[in-house]
């Protein structure tokens, strides 16, 4: 397997892929972001040929459709990201992906400039199965509130999220429904496609 992780102070994305490999032990490496952006551009040629990847102590080589991309590796220790990914949640919800995205985009218009905040209130006992209320308020523009029926279990929970960071993660999901796990207003939230556990997106709430 190839596990790809990217993180900053506010969010983390993780993707697990099945690959063909002849390595005999686990290997961990840090690839510069600039290299990965260039690799993404190369892969947009969108052919059926497989991407080849070769690694030595301080370099990585990518081969694709006759194009060679060689890059130095970052010689630092990567953060122990597994420690910050929650394994249990006080609130667990299943939400329609398109409806959730639509509600976030609408509320984002009313978020505060620079903060990009939207409020998500999860209620397990509202409506037949549960409800999430997505809202934003801006003194100079107004307020927007959107309510969606969801499948929700656990405690009620309120979190404030950066809508830009949230959309960037969710827009890559292809499943019709997603899982949203939350602890409290201060704890990391985990979002992933409901049927694909090989994709995980973690986002830190905005603290009031």
For residue 82, CA distances in Å to 5, 85, 92, 136 come to 10, 5, 20, 32
Least confident interval from 9-18, 41-50, 91-100, 137-146: 41-50
pLDDT at 74 (0 to 100): 96
Percent of the chain with pLDDT over 70: 99
pLDDT at 37 (0 to 100): 95
Torsion-angle region of 57 (φ positive above 0: left; ψ -120 to 50: alpha; else: beta): alpha
pLDDT tier for residue 159 given thresholds of 50, 70 and 90: very high
pTM, to two decimals: 0.90
Percent of the chain with pLDDT over 90: 84
Torsion-angle region of 102 (φ positive above 0: left; ψ -120 to 50: alpha; else: beta): alpha
Average pLDDT over the chain, rounded to whole? 93
- The stretch 2-29 carries a mean pLDDT of 93
- The stretch 60-75 carries a mean pLDDT of 95
Residue 97: φ, ψ to 5°: -60, -50
pLDDT tier for residue 59 given thresholds of 50, 70 and 90: very high
The Cβ of residue 126 has, within 10 Å, a number of other Cβ atoms equal to 17
Per-residue pLDDT for 129 more than 90? Answer: no
DSSP the chain: -EEEEEE-SSEEEEEEE------SS-------HHHHHHHHHHHTT--SPPPEEEE-SSEEEEEETTEEEEEEPP-SPPP-GGGGS-S--SEEEEEEHHHHHHHHHHHHTTSPTTT-EEEEEEESSSSSS-EEEEEEEETTTEEEEEEEE-EEEES-EEEEEEHHHHHHHHTT--SSEEEEEE-STTSPEEEEETT-TTEEEEEPPPP-
Q: Position of tokens 């509202």?
A: 126
pLDDT in tens, 174-186: 999 999 999 988 9
pLDDT tier for residue 125 given thresholds of 50, 70 and 90: confident
pLDDT at 195 (0 to 100): 93
pLDDT at 48 (0 to 100): 76
CB 175 within 8 A of CB 194: yes
Per-residue pLDDT for 126 more than 90? Answer: no
């Amino acid at each position: 397997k190839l596990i790809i992780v990217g993180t900053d102070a506010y969010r983390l994305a993780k993707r697990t892929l099945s690959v063909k490999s002849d390595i005999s032990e686990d290997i961990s490496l840090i690839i510069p972001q600039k290299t990965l952006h260039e690799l993404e551009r190369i892969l947009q040629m969108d052919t059926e040929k497989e991407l080849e990847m070769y690694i030595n102590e301080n370099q990585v080589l990518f081969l694709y459709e006759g194009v060679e991309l060689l890059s130095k590796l970052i010689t630092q220790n990567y953060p122990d990201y597994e420690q910050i990914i929650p394994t249990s949640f006080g609130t667990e919800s299943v939400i329609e992906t398109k409806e959730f995205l639509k509600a976030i985009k609408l509320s984002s218009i009313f978020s505060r400039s620079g903060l990009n905040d939207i409020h998500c209130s999860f209620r397990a006992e509202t409506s037949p199965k549960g409800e999430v209320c997505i809202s934003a308020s801006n003194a100079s523009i107004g307020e927007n509130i959107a309510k969606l029926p969801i499948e929700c279990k656990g405690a009620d929970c309120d979190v404030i999220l950066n809508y830009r960071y949230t959309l960037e993660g969710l827009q890559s999901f292809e499943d019709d429904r997603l899982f949203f796990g939350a602890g409290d207003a201060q704890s990391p939230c985990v979002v992933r496609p409901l049927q694909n556990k090989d994709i995980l997106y973690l986002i830190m709430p905005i603290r009031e």
